Amino acid sequence: MSTDDRRPHSVYSVGEDPDPQVSLANERTALSWMRTSLALVAAGVALATLVSFGELPALLLIIAAVSSLAGAVLAGWSLAHWRAGERALRLGRPIPKPSALPWLTAGTVAVALLLAAFVAFEAIERAG
């Protein structure tokens, strides 16, 4: 396959082909981020479905929406980071740092704490 046939052109039209192992590692990293984004969307769908079965607080529906939106953003970031990484490899430059990791970590901690507080509040309310 010639370089002209490979897409996206913005990636494959610059520099030289890097070591295939390094390029494949970059692709595996992007696919890992895509799996995480799919898990966020699936969690949002599952939570929204759960809310639709009963009289659960709207807070859970908001968390479902945030989870789904975060999955969409992370999927877009994954593609952008793969492109930037592949271009850097082809041009012999350093690979960009994974800028989404701190945001994903902070968001996961925030949602986990919010859900833990919700469960604790519900348990106290039912016990009293």
Torsion sign across C-alpha atoms 104, 108, 111, 117: negative
6 or 20, greater pLDDT: 20
What's the gap between Cα 115 and its chain centre? 20
φ/ψ of residue 49, rounded to 5: -65, -40
* pLDDT, tens digit (0-9, with 9 covering 90-100), for 16-50: 999 999 999 999 999 999 999 999 999 999 999 99
* pLDDT, tens digit (0-9, with 9 covering 90-100), for 79-126: 999 999 999 999 999 999 888 889 889 988 988 898 899 889 989 988
pLDDT of 3? 52
| Residue 2: pLDDT over 80 | no
Q: What is the pTM of this model?
A: 0.81
pLDDT of 59? 84
